[in-house]
Structure 1
């Protein structure tokens, strides 16, 4: 069984569920796109080896340990994104944060907002979090707009090795 502790969630147009082995190729393809990963981590597309390793870690380590919920995001049965509500390193943020990525083929249709609303509600309601954080590259204006639209407010930026990251929080 996969996805221990990761419940299935739904919105008007999206289905969030734990990944299965059948999702490996679509996960690797999603994270291999520069437009998807240019604002994540080091801003480089994830290599196939790295994304396969990450996928394997999710199925073999994170899910069985119940570490945090990680979802495959589908629209009409097709994998269109990735989402998490995960603990943040204490040096950066003392709390939990939402993480999400959507395939460019679904951008501009309000799915990001729909996804962030669902993740934030889950974090507050199911996990009992008073605060839910998000960190975003300042150049990622689309994601910043989504978070503000959902009710996240800005906190002081985080300096990560000379690069600034926007820090936002949603309070229940």
Structure 2
């Protein structure tokens, strides 16, 4: 199911999306604060692993397109990480550098929280951000996440959002 926000179209990822996603998921600068897909094949595996989670759980990161022109500008949303399980439902977002600084991560995060609360009826959602990723920390703060603790083995802060109310 597709979701539209004011400026974004969120849709389940398709294998046909992978080359456009790899343009930034494989870019060292774009992924400086997180895992980078080294090859197109690894990116396909990454997307396919998340889509398997969508079939199993009903949610996974979306391909994020600009409503203005339909261009793929990001990947993100709700997920339970199939490659590092055990952290619960998370929100994550990864954008092409050309999309940085435009408020898209905030727009995606707010849509994801609404989906988690209103459709999935989740009690909480988690997120991670590296200390040096100030933009991501601001997005999570604005969305109402609370910093829980530093996870040294991941070199990231763990954030929680309680969805009650």
TM-score interval (norm. to shorter): 0.7 to 0.9
Shift, 1:64, TM fit: 4.2
- Residues 25 and 12 of structure 1: CA distance in aligned 2, closer, same or farther (over 3 Å): same
Shift, 1:63, TM fit: 4.4
Q: Distance in 1 between matches of 2:80 and 2:46?
A: 17
For residues 125-172 of structure 1, the C-alpha deviation after alignment (integer angstroms, 9 at most, x for no partner) is 211112111011111111111110111111111121xx5310111112
Alignment-derived partner of residue 46 in structure 1: 38
- Residues 19 and 87 of structure 1: CA distance in aligned 2, closer, same or farther (over 3 Å): closer
TM-score between the two structures when normalised by the length of structure 1: 0.82
Q: What are the ranges of 5 or more consecutive residues in structure 1 without an aligned counterpart?
A: 1-6
Q: Does the Cα contact within 8 Å between 1:27 and 1:55 map onto a contact in 2? A: no
Q: Does the Cα contact within 8 Å between 1:124 and 1:132 map onto a contact in 2? A: no
TM-score between the two structures when normalised by the length of structure 2: 0.85
Residue 159 in structure 1 maps to residue 152 in structure 2? yes
Residue 169 in structure 1 maps to residue 163 in structure 2? no
Taking only aligned residues, the RMSD between alpha carbons, in angstroms, comes to 2.0
Alignment-derived partner of residue 72 in structure 2: 79
Alignment-derived partner of residue 131 in structure 2: 138
Give the length in aligned residue pairs. 158
- Residues 96 and 34 of structure 1: CA distance in aligned 2, closer, same or farther (over 3 Å): same
Instruction: Report matched runs for 1:1-172 at 5 Å.
Output: 7-41=1-35, 44=36, 46-58=38-50, 61-66=52-57, 68-75=59-66, 76-87=69-80, 89-90=85-86, 93=87, 95-160=88-153, 163-172=154-163
